[in-house]
Amino acid sequence: QVQLVESGGGLVQPGGSLRLSCTASGSIFSIYAMGWYRQAPRKQRELVAVITSGGSTNYADSVKGRFTISRDNAKKTVYLQMNSLKSEDTAVYYCNAARTPAVGPTITHWGQGTQVTVSS
């Protein structure tokens, strides 16, 4: 079992920066792919960025060049550095941990979410 706790959200002006953190407990962190998703009001949850257990990354087109995902396996923590924030980045950001065992479906875990509001 994996428990995920996000932190670092808040209110920031357009063009500003925030760094989100997600710390895991309860299982082997390094084998999980870690991702950040977001959900804005009246919209579906969408993938923002993902980093595999091997360190490969992928980003939504809307955040490429502005957001950076990274992980520290020793600290069991994944980060999302968000720069040049825009009003459309306003959403609840969720941390996700996923792994696909040799047999059976993919196992996923979610954090409780942290609010990011970009507004002047």
Question: In tens digits, what is the pLDDT along the chain, a chain of 120 residues?
Answer: 789 999 999 999 999 999 999 999 977 888 899 999 999 999 999 999 999 999 999 999 999 999 999 999 999 999 999 999 999 999 999 999 999 888 889 999 999 999 999 999
Distance, CA of 90 to CA of 71 (rounded, Å): 23
Burial class for 107, CB neighbours closer than 10 Å (0-12, 13-18, 19+): middle
Residues 6+ apart with CB under 8 A from 94: 6, 36, 37, 38, 39, 45, 110, 111, 112, 113
Distance, C-alpha 94 to centroid of its chain: 6
> How confident is the model over 30-43, as pLDDT tens digits?
889 999 999 999 99
The closest of 86, 84, 85, 82 to 70, measured between CA atoms, is 82
Report the distance separating Cα 25 and Cα 98, nearest Å.
Answer: 14
